[in-house]
């Protein structure tokens, strides 16, 4: 097939031959083309005519379903065909392909499944990664897999990475220094204006005012970018009644049905204007005809995964400079436009250059499961543009072992193969696998689809209520979701046991979220989860009165999360579904109020104590371990260190700072990290801080010094200095150098400077008056005698006339006494 006159001549048309030639010669290429260049539609159509394609299919990856459908429709219309003929699309809930289809537009997640299920990508000639700058986890993973396939199995496979804004050099390097083709964009002049949002004003208020003013003063349709669905809904409510029938207000976000999304991007009818309120879904890949005004909130909502809790929260952040340029470019697609940014112009420089890649801040349990299926245990074995964080990979692997998907060596277990085949997040796949064993596989798959497709069954927090609504919900999207659940259920094995009773969502979800079993604590709507984290529901919610919940979705920072989806359960449910979850054990805990060790017998579920009974106060190793927890909680300063023990710690620490190994580190951080070496073994008889013998702390600290150098401690860092008077004075080692505080009269007659370590290290002398007030600091006593002593003597004779102040202290007799009366 070749380009026909019906195909529009767009900026990308000039470089189409270069793209085909680069893929022929190098098999890999990078295309940099700004918005409006025509890359999404014209590049695949052009590649249809390339001889090297043969009869192989062209796969075009799009980051969103809306963009995939729009791209397929546009290409089909240019060919004068319907979608599903030469050009089709494939996504999770909807596919339009046939035996004739040669260009398949697929969402990025679908492609990852395609390549995992068929590593040779049979019948596919070229894979095009569109809008790669969005850096979704699926796109990064799909490209890494495609590079692996091309290198090992399909040297004839072609790969093309396209983007409007992209770190071109890094991507080209990842593709083995692939050739870079650059295209101009089709963009009319855009008048960029800045209107900073007043401090403290909600973004919806600023947006409504700006839309109203711009609508009144400018012609054309408006595309307004807001961070999320909630802000869009509130903005729609505030705009009602502002405009006449000639203006249509159209929301556009991911939870809308296909028809509502498609309606939002259609051109406004003749004689009418449209105001589209969109999330980042409208940032790339689609053109909304008639839009010549863009109003950008400058905000976006991104998921941030916390590995320690296994919870993903949505965070509202500033857009990147690349996103701001993409959004503004929507205004100049078909005519000169206006872009109004709701922030101060000076803030542009502080915006990040690009949106952070999802691989750095996402739950990677699905990725780790897919890697194991691919035969890869270490992500470094594949070519990722950004390697995933080691800590997040470790947490994901631990979760998959807990769910039975991986063995202890990280290899795919039989249960893991079943879970991967389900194309569900690992937690929900584990739920479906467990439910299938008791004949509830179909119900579990329905709940899984319900939780992965937002908006199905309404917006209730109560999953049982949403599930009931979903099962009878009308419309194309819920019907497609139910069919998907049915297809997933066919992949599950038949259970060995017949379902004893109807499926209850809470019982099923226990197998997906055992760490999010929650008990009401602190009043209505306040819960504590098994992972130790708090979560809340508004008191008006029905579930707020429940004693126990299993929480499927929660968001928020710190200790108190906001519950988004949950189901009611009972303790009996937990005991029957997860018989090993509730444990009974004896615990030795530190009570910070009394500073004592308490013993108790507890029944617990994760971090939640269900029941407890006191036991006699213990001694021994377990008590010492509990005391160590108290030290970690209260700090070393809570321990009864004697002056001698503090000096011992300072002496050893000084040698560590001066010499290093083998002298141990005596800082708080180091000692807290080694409590099991110097503290616990020496506290066998202690039940509380009051029982700790200061001498045991000294013995413990001394034990950290290797035996072969213990004898050197007294020589290298002596405890005292013996003055010429015969008096012994302690040496301080708490600073960078050893310090001796001594009355100046006690050093009379001393002709050399006091030192330690065999004379190699001089002491810092803090010389004091008879009243023990500092009069001089010196590291050179003979120099002091010969120099500034004269001025000190003159001052001191007047203040302390009864004490000796000889002209030549180096030859005077040391003393601790005043002169006899009358002398």
Query: 592-605, pLDDT tens digit by residue?
Result: 888 989 888 989 89
Q: What is the mean pLDDT of residues 766-774?
A: 91
Place of tokens 């929650």: 518
Q: How many alpha carbons fall within 13 Å on the CB side of residue 682?
A: 19
277 φ/ψ angles, rounded to the nearest 5 degrees: -105, 110
Place of tokens 């370590």: 757
pLDDT value at position 60? 97
CATH architecture of residue range(s) 190-359: 3-Layer(aba) Sandwich (3.40)
Q: What is the mean pLDDT of residues 70-85?
A: 93
Which residues of the chain are in CATH 3.40.50.300 domains? Answer: 11-182, 190-359
Q: What is the mean pLDDT of residues 536-558?
A: 89
Alpha carbons 320 and 578: distance in angstroms, whole number: 45
Q: Which distant-in-sequence residues (6+ apart) come within 8 Å of 291 by Cβ?
A: 220, 221, 222, 223, 274, 276, 330, 331, 333, 337
pLDDT of residue 483 exceeding 70, the answer is: yes
pLDDT band, very low/low/confident/very high, at 557 (cuts 50, 70, 90) = low
pLDDT band, very low/low/confident/very high, at 3 (cuts 50, 70, 90) = very low
157 phi-psi bin (left φ>0, alpha ψ -120 to 50, beta other):
beta
pLDDT value at position 200? 87
pLDDT band, very low/low/confident/very high, at 558 (cuts 50, 70, 90) = low
Helix (H, G, I), strand (E, B) or coil at 535: strand
Total Cβ atoms within 10 A of residue 258: 17
pLDDT of residue 704 exceeding 80, the answer is: yes
Strands 57-62 and 124-129: parallel
Q: Residue 141 has which token pair?
A: 């993973």
Mean pLDDT (the chain) is 89
Strands 764-768 and 774-778: antiparallel
Fold of 11-182: Rossmann fold (3.40.50)
pLDDT value at position 532? 85
Alpha carbons 433 and 464: distance in angstroms, whole number: 20
pLDDT of residue 19 exceeding 90, the answer is: yes
pLDDT value at position 186? 63
pLDDT value at position 2? 41
pLDDT band, very low/low/confident/very high, at 617 (cuts 50, 70, 90) = confident
Q: What is the pTM of this model?
A: 0.73
pLDDT of residue 258 exceeding 60, the answer is: yes
Give the closest residue to 106 by CA, choosing from 153, 42, 58, 160: 58
Helix (H, G, I), strand (E, B) or coil at 304: strand
Instruction: Report CA Rg, the chain.
Output: 37
| 385-434 residue pLDDT tens | 999 999 899 989 999 998 999 988 888 999 999 998 888 899 999 999 99
Sign of CA dihedral 448, 451, 455, 461: positive
pLDDT of residue 4 exceeding 50, the answer is: no
Would you say 461 and 541 are in contact if contact means Cβ atoms under 8 Å apart?
yes
Percent over 90 (pLDDT), the chain? 54
pLDDT value at position 759? 79
pLDDT value at position 496? 59
Percent over 70 (pLDDT), the chain? 96
Q: What is the mean pLDDT of residues 744-764?
A: 88
Would you say 368 and 397 are in contact if contact means Cβ atoms under 8 Å apart?
yes
pLDDT value at position 1? 41
pLDDT band, very low/low/confident/very high, at 377 (cuts 50, 70, 90) = confident
pLDDT of residue 167 exceeding 80, the answer is: no
pLDDT value at position 518? 93
């Amino acid at each position: 097939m070749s380009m026909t006159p019906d195909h529009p001549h767009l900026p990308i048309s000039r470089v189409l031959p270069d793209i085909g030639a680069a893929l022929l010669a190098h098999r890999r290429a990078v295309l940099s083309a700004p918005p409006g260049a025509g890359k999404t539609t014209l590049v695949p159509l052009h590649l249809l005519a390339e001889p090297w394609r043969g009869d192989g299919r062209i796969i075009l990856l799009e980051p969103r379903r809306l963009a995939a459908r729009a791209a397929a429709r546009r290409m089909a219309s240019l060919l004068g065909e319907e979608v599903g003929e030469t050009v089709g699309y494939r996504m999770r809930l909807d596919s339009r392909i046939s035996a004739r289809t040669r260009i398949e537009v697929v969402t990025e997640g679908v492609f990852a499944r395609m390549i995992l299920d068929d590593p040779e990508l049979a019948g596919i000639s070229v894979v095009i990664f569109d809008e790669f700058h969005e850096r979704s986890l699926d796109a990064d993973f799909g490209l890494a897999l495609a590079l692996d396939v091309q290198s090992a199995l399909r040297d004839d496979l072609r790969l093309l990475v396209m983007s409007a804004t992209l770190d071109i050099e890094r991507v080209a390097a990842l593709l083995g220094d692939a050739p870079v083709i650059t295209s101009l964009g089709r963009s009319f002049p855009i008048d960029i204006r800045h209107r900073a949002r007043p401090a403290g004003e909600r973004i919806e208020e600023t947006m409504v005012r700006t839309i109203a003013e711009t609508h009144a003063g400018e012609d054309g349709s408006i595309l307004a970018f807001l961070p999320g669905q909630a802000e869009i809904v509130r903005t729609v409510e505030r705009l009602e009644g502002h405009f006449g029938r000639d203006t249509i207000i159209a929301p556009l976000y991911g939870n809308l049905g296909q028809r509502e999304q498609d309606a939002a991007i259609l051109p406004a009818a003749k004689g009418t204007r449209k105001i589209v309120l969109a999330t980042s879904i409208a940032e790339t890949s689609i053109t909304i005809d008639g839009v010549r005004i863009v109003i950008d909130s400058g905000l976006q909502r991104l998921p941030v995964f916390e590995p320690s809790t296994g919870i993903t929260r949505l965070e509202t952040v500033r857009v990147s400079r690349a996103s701001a340029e993409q959004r503004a470019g929507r205004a100049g697609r078909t005519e000169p436009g206006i872009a109004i940014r709701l922030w101060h112009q000076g803030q542009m420089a502080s915006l990040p250059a690009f949106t952070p890649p999802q691989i750095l801040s996402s739950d990677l349990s699905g990725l780790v499961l897919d890697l194991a299926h691919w035969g890869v245990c270490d992500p470094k074995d594949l070519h990722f543009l950004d390697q995933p964080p080691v800590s997040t990979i470790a947490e994901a692997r631990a979760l998959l072992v807990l769910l039975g998907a991986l063995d202890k060596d990280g290899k795919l277990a039989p249960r893991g193969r079943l879970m991967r085949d389900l194309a569900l997040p690992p937690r929900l796949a584990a739920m479906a696998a467990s439910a299938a064993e008791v004949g509830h596989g179909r119900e579990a798959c329905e709940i899984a689809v319900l939780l992965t497709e937002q908006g199905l069954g309404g917006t209730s927090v109560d999953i049982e209520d949403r599930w009931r609504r979903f099962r009878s919900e009308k419309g194309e999207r819920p019907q497609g979701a139910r069919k998907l659940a049915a297809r997933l259920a066919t992949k599950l094995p038949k259970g060995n046991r017949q379902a004893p009773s109807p499926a209850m969502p809470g019982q099923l979800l226990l197998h997906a979220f055992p760490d999010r079993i929650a008990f009401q604590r602190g009043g209505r709507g306040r819960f504590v989860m098994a992972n130790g984290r708090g979560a809340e529901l508004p008191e008006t919610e029905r579930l707020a009165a429940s004693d126990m919940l299993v929480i499927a979705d929660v968001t928020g920072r710190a200790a108190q999360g906001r519950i988004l989806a949950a189901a009611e359960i009972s303790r009996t449910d937990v005991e029957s579904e997860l018989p090993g979850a509730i444990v009974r054990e004896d615990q030795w805990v530190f009570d910070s109020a009394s500073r004592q060790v308490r013993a108790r017998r507890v029944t617990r579920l994760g971090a939640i104590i269900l029941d407890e009974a006191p036991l006699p106060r213990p001694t021994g190793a377990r008590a010492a371990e509990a005391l160590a927890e108290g030290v970690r909680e209260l700090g070393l300063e809570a321990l009864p260190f004697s002056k001698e023990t503090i000096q011992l710690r300072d002496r050893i620490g000084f040698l560590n700072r001066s010499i290093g190994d083998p002298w141990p580190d005596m800082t708080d951080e180091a000692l807290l990290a080694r409590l099991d070496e110097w503290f616990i073994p020496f506290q066998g008889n202690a039940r509380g801080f009051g029982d700790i013998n200061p001498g045991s702390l000294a013995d413990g600290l001394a034990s950290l010094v290797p035996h072969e150098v213990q004898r050197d401690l007294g020589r290298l860092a002596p405890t005292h200095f013996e003055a010429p008077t015969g008096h012994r004075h302690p040496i301080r080692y708490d600073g960078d150098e050893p310090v001796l505080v001594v009355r100046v009269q006690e050093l009379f007659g001393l002709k050399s400077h006091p030192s330690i370590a065999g004379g190699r290290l001089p002491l810092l002398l803090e010389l004091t008056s008879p009243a023990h007030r500092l009069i001089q600091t010196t590291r050179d006593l003979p120099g002091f005698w010969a120099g500034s002593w004269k001025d000190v003597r003159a001052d001191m004779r007047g203040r302390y006339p009864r004490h000796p102040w000889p002209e030549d202290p180096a030859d005077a007799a040391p003393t601790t006494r005043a002169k006899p009366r009358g002398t």
